[in-house]
Amino acid sequence: MTDAEKPENTPEGSPEEVSQAEPGPEDWPESSELGCAEISPQELRAYGATIRKLEWMIGAVGAVCAAAVIWPMGWAVAAGVLLGTLLGWLNFRWLAASVNAIGERIVNAKSRERGTSVVIRGVGRIFLIVLSAYVIFAYSVRGLAGFFAGLAMPVVALMCKAMYEFVANTRRSS
């Protein structure tokens, strides 16, 4: 639309102008990059293997951290780290299941996944963590610090996995 054709009361970037300027889904060519392709069984196996490795790494890193803090900081902090690691691992598993359920719900119109169950699982994860933090806080503030450190173990495991993949890919390319 040229400036001469544009109505005076239509500002730049208005919905009328944007809808005419940008192509819609009907204008897109069929392409595997747009999500029209199926995921291969090899990709699914690699995804599953990565999730299992991350779950294992969460537990291993949490146990090492708990063992490292037991002597200098005490058993309350170490127990908090272990409990936080356990809930972090559980949160990671439930989050992965929720993401898969939402993906199935979006892709498959006749999905077995119900929207309410996905929401309940998401709220349940948060409720369980908050309840645990409250109970720990009632007994030991130091244990609460360990608990929050344990909740971070999925992030630490992801960082370890990323570093491993970086080193492995660097060695392969050399």
> pLDDT of 49-86, one tens digit each?
999 999 999 999 999 999 999 999 999 999 999 999 99
Residue 83, Cα to own-chain centre: how many angstroms?
Answer: 20
Is the CB of residue 152 less than 8 Å from the CB of residue 62?
Answer: no
CA-closest candidate to residue 160, choices 31, 84, 64, 26: 64
Give 147-156 pLDDT, tens digit per residue.
999 999 999 9
Residue 39, Cα to own-chain centre: how many angstroms?
Answer: 20
**Sign of the CA dihedral 90, 119, 25, 41?**
positive
pLDDT < 50 stretches in the chain: 10, 13-25, 27-28, 31, 34
> Which are the contacts of 118, defined by CB distance < 8 A and separation ≥ 6?
98, 101, 102, 105
Where do the domains of the chain lie? 40-173
What is the reported pLDDT for 117? 78
What is the reported pLDDT for 97? 84
CB atoms within 10 A of CB 37: 10
What is the reported pLDDT for 64? 95
What is the reported pLDDT for 19? 45
How many Å apart are CA 75 and CA 126, to the nearest integer?
26
